[in-house]
Amino acid sequence: MPARPIIRFPDPLLRAACAPVAVFDDDLRSLAGDLLDTMRAAPGVGITGPHIGILKRIVVIELSREDGVRTYINPEILWSSQETMRHTEGSVSMPGATEEIVRPKSIRFRYQDVAGDRHEAEAHDFLAVCIQHEIDQLDGIFWLQRLSKLKRDRLVRKWEKMRD
């Protein structure tokens, strides 16, 4: 399955909310495979449909090869812990740009797999941060929006210089 071109910041598609996936077929499985190949080529640990211009609620995460690939269709957070953690985040759509973000340390979430079966799960620490980051993307919230205006403006200026 081929790696696809990644949409780059500040493309407006990165701020668009995604439609739920309604059809669970070979095209969806193919899309999940393309997302995995694209994420590995980037490289990254998480990717969504919008990163390649497809506004569907699909997330692929691979924290490590040993840990395995996780594919979440139509994910939604059901509960978030009061306890938070700081983590350096970035995006395959903005390579080289990173900043610390504070997010809940644990979550409970619901999703479907590529066959359409429904699941609930809990995630903690780095996996929880990754899932929240990717669900934000599906909701049209690019990770920069989680930063203060000062940090966001500084990072965007740095990003623009890196691209020149």
Bridge partners (DSSP) listed for residue 46 = 61
What number of other Cβ atoms are within 10 A of residue 141's Cβ?
16
Which of 89, 122, 134, 160 is an active site residue?
134
3-state secondary structure 83-100: CEEEEEECCCCCCCCCEE
CA distance 112 to 32: 13
Determine how many CB atoms are found less than 10 A away from the CB of residue 51. 28
Asked if 87 and 126 touch (Cβ cutoff 8 Å), the reply is yes
Active site annotation includes 134: yes
H or E segment at 80? strand 70-80
Environment class of 106 (CB within 10 Å of its CB; exposed 0-12, middle 13-18, buried 19+) = middle
Kindly list the catalytic residues.
134
